[in-house]
Structure 1
Amino acid sequence: MQFGIFTVGDVTPDPTSARTPTEHERIKAMVAIALKAEEVGLDVFATGEHHNPPFVPSSPTTMLGYIAARTERLILSTSTTLITTNDPVKIAEDYAMLQHLADGRVDLMMGRGNTGPVYPWFGKDIRDGIPLAVENYALLRRLWQEDVVDWEGKFRTPLQGFTSTPRPLDGVAPFVWHGSIRSPEIAEQAAFYGDGFFANNIFWPKDHFRRLIDLYRRRFAHHGHGTPEQAVVGLGGQAFIRRNSQDAVREFRPYFDNAPVYGHGPSLEEFTEQTPLTVGSPQEVIEKTLEFRESFGHYQRQLFLMDHAGLPLKTVLEQLDLLGEEVVPVLRKEFAVGRPAEVPAGPTHAARAARGAGEQR
């Protein structure tokens, strides 16, 4: 079981101080958070990809390459790579290059994004979102698997005798997750290829994500990749932790009440009741996270969103101390209890390379 954090890289005013960090400060803070994640024993740091304010991570490979040079163990991932608006050729080359620089500590999560105006900025039509995701990913896989590619499709110019460089490290492409909030077509895509499926699991009730994950597991087995239990599942989550739950609620409430991401809708109490958000003590975070297994079955990766809504860097680093020292060690132990032997571990380059270059999973 892999544990880590993911960031959306939002630049949001701190409601308690009315101060908004600069883009420079926010980018540097994301790096500091990644370094802290490795320091406290987490396994994964993942960044989103956005091309619009108030977000800053427009170039994930640049950030992850920089972090790779300053870490030794951390798996570096995206929490969204825009398969719809990025050229598959550029994705293939950028992430293979990052693989080499990071000695294989790289995977990525394909997603369509949730910002409509991005499509025309990159010459695409949002109405083609699903077809773009399907066609672009099919090409990306070929670029990683085949040394010479001849290809023709609908959304980009044809390729003739094209070789993507550099080739994937050890002949093994980065592991791919397909992330989705609401699209069964993306769950089907992940199942068809035998890739991982990542359920955002943040703003919606668990029944919504359970349906998507159940669909993915069934179709994974249908396509001959193994049993439903052998499908590779990742989950998001949100937490704000203090040693005392009352302190956590008191401190986080102004961030919840004012952050645009929460939409000024349900109260904090209603939101924590209806969604995976946990605001409380380490034990409360442990208990609620363990419930995910009851809802979704055994899974491979748990990422937490902890640096959004204007929270200052100092507070986020304190959160990571609590997560790494008091929450994750217990979760590792508890999630291992009763875990069937046939359930796969979280994907790593070393394990996949040992199985052979022909295996994508």
Structure 2
Amino acid sequence: MQFGIFSVGDVTPDPTTGREPTENERIRSMTTIAEHAEAVGLDVFATGEHHNKPFVPSSPTTLLGYIAARTQTLTLSTSTTLITTNDPVKIAEDFAMLQHLAGGRVDLMLGRGNTGPVYPWFGQNPADSVPLTVENYQLLRRLWDSEVVNWEGRFRTPLSNFTSTPRPLDGVAPFVWHGSIRTPEVAEVAAYFGDGFFANNIFWPASHYERLIGLYRERWEHHGHGPGESAVVGLGGQFFMRRNSQDAWNEFRPYFDNAPVYGHGPSMEDFTSQTPLTVGSPQQVLEKTLTFREHFGDYQRQLFLVDHAGLPLKTVLEQLDLLGEILPAMRTEFESRRPLGVPSDPPSHADRVAARMVSSEPGLTIG
């Protein structure tokens, strides 16, 4: 099973000091966090995509390309690539380029985004978000899978005898996740193409995501990719830990109370009881994370949000150190409970290259 972190890249004042980092400091801190994630044994670093304040990651592939050059094993991903407002041609080219630079250590997560004003900034209508998602992804797949593309759709100018360059590394496109917190059509698209489905369960009760993941697994099986329990699922999560549980509560409370994403809302006590947020000791984080499979079944990727709400870089790196300490036990416990036949990891680049080679041999097919 893969474990990693994702960043939303917010520039938020530290509520305990009032100091707000510069954009340059925040961007640099994200690269430091990614490098430290690899050092403590994590598998994945993912970044969001935002085009509005108080966020800085407007160009995820630029950031990930820099991190690729400074890491060796880390899988580099997005936690949102906006399939609605990005040109599919640019997505195809940017991520193929990143594949080449990172030696295949790349995948991406597509999403509609949650900021309505971004649509007109890029010439789109938020009312078209679902049909944009479907049409743009169909074109993206064609651009990666076909050498020459002729295309005519509703939302962009036609393509005639067009070839996206560079071609995907080894002829294999990056693995795609589809992220959603509320849209069943996204689960259907993921299942139809045999892609991964990511439920970023950081704000809502488990019951909300159980429905979406259940639908995805049902449709995965319907489309002939195998039993539903073998579908490729990822989850979000978040924590703040100190060796002493009360220390964690006392230290994190001002950050929680003033966070842009959930500050000035439910109390931290209510939020931790109703959502996956864990505030406490490393053992408490381990125990609560292990309960996720009780709600969602066995899954392949767990990403945590750790660098938000104005937390200082030093504190974030300490959080990663503590996560690294419980990581071996987390891996062991998840795998000891996984039934035979259920994949442990999402498909790697090497897996996809091998599958392509098998499928191209005469007389052989893959399901």
Q: TM-score, normalised by structure 1?
A: 0.98
- Percentage of matched positions with identical amino acids: 76
**Map of 2:362 onto structure 1:** none
Q: 1:1-361 alignment to 2 at 5 Å?
A: 1-325=1-325, 327-346=326-345, 347-356=347-356
Distance apart, 1:353 and its partner CA: 1.3
Specify whether residues 73 and 33 from structure 1 end up closer, same or farther in structure 2 by C-alpha distance, changes over 3 A only.
same
Q: Which runs of 4+ in 1 moved over 4 A?
A: 357-361
Q: Structure 2 CA distance, aligned partners of 1:120 and 1:228?
A: 38
Let me know the Cα RMSD of the aligned residues: 1.2
Please state whether the residue corresponding to 1:339 is helix, strand or coil: coil
- Provide the aligned length of Structure 1 versus Structure 2: 360
| Residues 335, 344 of structure 2: 8 Å contact kept | no
Amino acid at match of 2:236: G
- The gaps in structure 2 that reach 5 residues or longer are 360-364
Please state whether the residue corresponding to 1:356 is helix, strand or coil: helix
Q: Structure 1 CA distance, aligned partners of 2:109 and 2:144?
A: 16
Please state whether the residue corresponding to 1:260 is helix, strand or coil: coil
Q: Structure 1 CA distance, aligned partners of 2:333 and 2:167?
A: 39
Q: Structure 2 CA distance, aligned partners of 1:219 and 1:253?
A: 41
Q: Structure 2 CA distance, aligned partners of 1:147 and 1:80?
A: 26
Q: Structure 2 CA distance, aligned partners of 1:43 and 1:63?
A: 17
Q: Residues 174-196 of structure 1, C-alpha deviation per residue, up to 9 Å, x if partnerless?
A: 00000001111111111111100
Q: Structure 1 CA distance, aligned partners of 2:157 and 2:306?
A: 41
Please state whether the residue corresponding to 1:156 is helix, strand or coil: coil
| Residues 352, 360 of structure 1: 8 Å contact kept | no
Q: Residues 226-266 of structure 1, C-alpha deviation per residue, up to 9 Å, x if partnerless?
A: 10011000000001011111100000000011112114111
Distance apart, 1:216 and its partner CA: 0.4
| Residues 172, 360 of structure 1: 8 Å contact kept | no
Amino acid at match of 1:239: F
Please state whether the residue corresponding to 2:56 is helix, strand or coil: coil
Specify whether residues 360 and 25 from structure 1 end up closer, same or farther in structure 2 by C-alpha distance, changes over 3 A only.
farther
Amino acid at match of 1:178: H
Distance apart, 1:350 and its partner CA: 1.4
Q: Structure 2 CA distance, aligned partners of 1:208 and 1:350?
A: 34
Distance apart, 1:338 and its partner CA: 2.9
| Residues 47, 79 of structure 1: 8 Å contact kept | yes
Q: Structure 1 CA distance, aligned partners of 2:299 and 2:175?
A: 16
| Residues 49, 82 of structure 1: 8 Å contact kept | yes
Structure 1, 260-269 or 178-187: larger mean CA deviation: 260-269
Q: TM-score, normalised by structure 2?
A: 0.97
| Residues 173, 360 of structure 1: 8 Å contact kept | no
Amino acid at match of 2:286: I
| Residues 14, 311 of structure 1: 8 Å contact kept | yes
Please state whether the residue corresponding to 2:167 is helix, strand or coil: coil
Q: Structure 1 CA distance, aligned partners of 2:150 and 2:342?
A: 37
Amino acid at match of 1:336: E
Q: Structure 2 CA distance, aligned partners of 1:86 and 1:258?
A: 31
Please state whether the residue corresponding to 2:187 is helix, strand or coil: helix
Distance apart, 1:360 and its partner CA: 11
Amino acid at match of 1:62: T
Q: Structure 1 CA distance, aligned partners of 2:263 and 2:114?
A: 15
Q: Residues 256-309 of structure 1, C-alpha deviation per residue, up to 9 Å, x if partnerless?
A: 111121141111011000000000101000000000011100000000000000
